């Protein structure tokens, strides 16, 4: 019955010109927000979203952090790239630690812009790490897998 309700919501959204690509449900009885690993039920459409940010394309799954304002994120990342350029003599030898990397947007943007030569992304969210690994490959960067997760 959840699928039927999701389909009705999708049709109602289409009637007013809104394009629905995915519908997920999440139940939570806690006092605050659930952890990123809290179960999510896929009801309709794509199981992950795809967003272009700068020169990169990113997969975004439920539970994974992604900047909600793409235009604002692009401006912010341009500033980050410019600042790294100012302090880096040899980008190929520059290693970036992207702490709380989410889906990998900042670090992968810096790799794509050529201001760093290597990247280590760190996050506590398993969905975000899984997306970051996919995004690295999607944007042309091979993964050096950690020996112990």
| pLDDT tens track, the chain, 149 positions | 566 766 666 666 566 677 888 888 888 888 877 877 788 889 999 999 899 999 999 999 887 888 888 899 999 999 999 999 999 999 999 999 999 999 999 999 999 999 999 999 999 888 899 999 999 999 999 776 654 44
d(CA 32, CA 52) in angstroms, rounded, equals 30
pLDDT of 19 reads: 83
Please give the model's pTM, rounded to 2 decimal places.
0.77
Q: How far apart are CA 23 and CA 92, in angstroms?
A: 42
Q: Bridge partners of 99?
A: 122
Find all residues with CB under 8 Å of 10, minimum gap 6, and list them: 20, 23, 44, 45
């Amino acid at each position: 019955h959840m699928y039927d309700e999701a389909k009705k919501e999708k049709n109602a959204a289409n009637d007013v010109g809104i394009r629905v690509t995915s519908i997920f449900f999440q139940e939570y009885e806690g006092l605050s927000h659930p952890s990123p690993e809290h179960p999510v039920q896929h009801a309709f459409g794509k199981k992950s979203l795809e967003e272009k940010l700068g020169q990169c394309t990113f997969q975004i799954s439920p539970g994974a952090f992604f900047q909600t304002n793409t235009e604002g994120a692009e401006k912010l990342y341009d500033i980050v790239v410019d600042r790294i350029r100012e302090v880096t003599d040899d980008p190929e030898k520059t290693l970036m630690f992207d702490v709380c990397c989410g889906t990998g947007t900042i670090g992968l943007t810096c790799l794509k812009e050529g201001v760093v030569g290597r990247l280590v992304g760190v996050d506590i969210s398993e969905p975000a790490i899984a997306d970051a690994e996919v995004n690295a490959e999607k944007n042309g960067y091979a993964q050096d897998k950690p020996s112990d997760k």
